[in-house]
Amino acid sequence: MRILMIGDIVGRPGRRAILDNLSYIRGELNLDFVIANGENAAGGHGITREIARELFAAGIDVFTMGNHVWNKKEIFEYIQKEKRILRPANYPPGTPGSGYNFFNVGAGPTLAIINISGRVFMQELDCPFRKVDEILKEIDNKTKIIFVDFHAEATSEKVAMGWYLDGRVSAICGTHTHVQTADERILPKGSAYITDVGMTGPRDSVIGVETEIVLEKFVTQLPRRFEVADTNYQLNAVMVEVDESTGRALEIERIFNLE
Ligand SMILES: [Fe+2]
Ligand SMILES: [Fe+2]
């Protein structure tokens, strides 16, 4: 099974990158399933029903989210009904939406996707390590193909999660920093790993935000409202090929497309 994981889609340039390229990539890489982090899809902050609908139609099968999940008010209700949008699993019990789910992949085996958040330099959520253990116990033998989006800031926490889950899931892909790392590999026990998939959004920007605004903020230390840069785009993703009988990864390929 060939799965594409797309790094955080940021604003209009990110959506344009998907609309312009995904159907071609889908065919070219012979993909079975497409996951994308959608936490910044709507103007850099969260996701709306309308934008999700547009991107589902463009070929994305499931969205994972992150710390920006609650930025748009409508998500509280929408995420209860839309099972194709996951939010980090380690929010407190009772939080709307769900942190993992099972998805049908054509006539093939079921795919489980887990979205989890780090807590170093981030919100203090429940322990991501204990939470993922709990989820893996629940998944049990329902499927061997398990894909994890670990939305985290600290590279150390992400690398640690990679080792923690090696051999227990098919892939651990980091998101959130918006800068793609070049450390993609198959870990010794067979899990694909990358510290950060990167960003699908405006290329000439500071991780998606208008450069001038960020520079002014750094230089003057005065508050400025962040706006998504309106520039050329980049599309960042990884393709993971999984052996359906064992759930182990066979290949991880990094994708960095420019407009
Ligand atoms: Fe993000
Ligand atoms: Fe994030």
Ligand 2 centre to CA of 68 (Å) is: 6
Ligand 1 centre to CA of 8 (Å) is: 5
Predicted pLDDT of residue 107 = 87
% of the chain beyond a pLDDT of 90: 98
DSSP-assigned letter for residue 92? P
Ligand 1 centre to CA of 28 (Å) is: 26
Contacts of 218 (CB under 8 A, 6+ apart): none
For residues 122-136, one letter each, b for 16 or more C-beta atoms within 10 angstroms of the residue's C-beta and e for the rest, the string is beebbebeebbeebb
Annotated binding-site residue numbers for Fe cation: 8, 39-40, 67, 151, 176, 178
Out of 3.40.50.720, 3.60.21.10, 3.40.50.2300, 3.40.50.12780, which CATH number does the structure's domain 2-258 have? 3.60.21.10
Predicted pLDDT of residue 108 = 85
Q: Which residue has the tokens 């706006």?
A: 227
Q: Which ligand is in closest contact with the Cα of 115?
A: 2
191 has pLDDT over 90: yes
User: Active-site positions?
Assistant: 68
What is the pLDDT of the chain when averaged over all its residues?
97
pLDDT tens digit string along 197-250? 999 999 999 999 999 999 999 999 999 999 999 999 999 999 999 999 999 999
Which structure tokens are listed for 120? 């170093």
SS3 41: coil
Give the separation between CA 84 and CA 183, rounded to whole angstroms. Answer: 28
Q: Which ligand is in closest contact with the Cα of 123?
A: 2
Ligand 1 centre to CA of 37 (Å) is: 8
